[in-house]
Structure 1
């Protein structure tokens, strides 16, 4: 349960507007632009959007995070906040073009990332570069030590 004194302090730091608009956090933000507010010394600061979610909907389910439907890290409007997983949040970021790799259109060697032109593991790996690397390794294995030294 959130104490009334915390709630009063919290809402004093919010530019509250119409229900469909973002309610902007006006106080301290972290390096990613998300609002933060101190709770107590033991717990330390919490993210403002998470505090807003918990004040309106109760505790967050285990393993869930608070996601913004509006893509505004300073927004604390409970109508714009939803519980979800990290995977759902990353999928949102990719779909909306906010993920660091969502805007990358080609590999470091310049091959375009088109459907079927890359492998998807923990990140994207260019198929053309992977095949060239494998071909180079096969050629190296077939050379003798003298041939390798001569090629350097």
Structure 2
């Protein structure tokens, strides 16, 4: 600034250049993704959700892998989320990312909903078949065992309550 240069002799970097400086492109190569190259690891500390975040400006904050998709591949299609094919949350390599629906992303993940969807029978051993499964209209992603409901409704204390209601 002393010599008339408002940037003090340095030229400010563009957002994509700043982003590229925060990536380690020599990360591990997943065995199933050798043809897609190594993971590009985000160098900064991950957030509480395990993903890196990037601030292209003071007022904006992007999740790093979503920003990587936008600058390398274009806008994320409406209604879709970005899934990590390599299962590494800190990876921002666009060849390891894929836009999918939220339901597909949950199916591919290792969350509670995935484990529940893989169950073939209720906790009491009754099979989840179309004839034995009820899906409440208010919660269509949940399953109820019809046989367990029949057993529960035959319990003596429930039968007594039904008779009391009829008499009143």
- TM-score under structure 1 length normalisation: 0.71
Map 1:41-60 to 2 at 5 A: 41-43=58-60, 45-60=61-76
In structure 2, list runs of 5 or more residues that go unmatched.
1-12, 30-35
Q: How many residues in Structure 1 have an aligned counterpart in Structure 2?
A: 136
Residue correspondence of structure 1 range 1-152 to structure 2 within 5 A: 5-17=14-26, 19-43=36-60, 45-93=61-109, 98-103=110-115, 110-112=123-125, 114-116=127-129, 119-120=134-135, 121-136=140-155, 139-144=159-164
Larger RCO: 1 or 2 (CA < 8 Å, sep 6+):
1
Question: Once the 2 structures are TM-superposed, how far is the Cα of residue 76 of structure 1 from its aligned partner?
Answer: 0.5
Residues 126 and 35 from structure 1, CA distance in 2 versus in 1: closer, same or farther, beyond 3 angstroms? Answer: farther
Q: What's the secondary structure of 2:98's corresponding residue?
A: strand
CA deviation profile, 1:98-141 (whole Å, cap 9, x unmatched): 0214335576xx42475426545322334443333333486144
Alignment-derived partner of residue 10 in structure 2: none
**Higher Rg:** 2
TM superposition shift of 1:86: 1.0
State the alpha-carbon separation in 2 of the partners of residues 101 and 113 from structure 1. Answer: 19
Q: Contact between 1:111 and 1:126, CA under 8 Å: does it hold in 2?
A: no
Distance 1:41 1:132 in 2: 60
CA displacement, residues 28-49 of structure 1 (integer Å, 9 cap, x when unaligned): 3222211111122333x11100
* SS at structure 1 position matched to 2:77: coil
Using structure 2 for the length normalisation, give the TM-score: 0.65
* Deviation (angstroms), 1:91: 2.2
Distance 1:28 1:118, change over 3 A: farther
